[in-house]
Amino acid sequence: MTKSTIGQWGKSLAVRLPADVVRAAGLSKGAEVECTVENGTVVIHPGRSEETIRKAREAGARILARSRGVRLDGLSIREMLDEGRRGE
């Protein structure tokens, strides 16, 4: 575990990330990150670019297209996705 200190950056607080953490996370100067708090713990992970989101949606569409007619436990993938969205 590498420790860091919270500093001031303008009116905001900032954390300087150690080089080994940056390398391990695959980050670089100017990279966008997403920050959340989970159970009181600050979590920082690489942001998703519009290109990454577009590619993920395209891949999902290809998977759905190839799975037409395939059933698992009597349900199609589309039906399983719809059930998941409804919380069933």
Beta-carbon contacts of residue 28 (< 8 Å; ≥ 6 apart): 22
Instruction: Please report, for residues 7, 30, 58, 64, the alpha-carbon distance to residue 12 in angstroms, rounded to integers and kept in the order given.
Output: 9, 17, 37, 44
Query: What is the 8-class DSSP label of residue 72?
Result: E
**Model confidence at 40: pLDDT above 80:** yes
**Model confidence at 39: pLDDT above 90:** yes
Q: Is the pTM of this model over 0.85?
A: no
How far is it, in rounded angstroms, from Cα 25 to Cα 15? 15
69-84 pLDDT per residue, tens: 777 788 887 788 787 7
Amino acid identity for residue 33 in this structure: V
CATH topology of domain 6-46: Pemi-like Protein 1; Chain: D (2.10.260)
44-66 pLDDT per residue, tens: 888 777 777 888 889 988 988 88
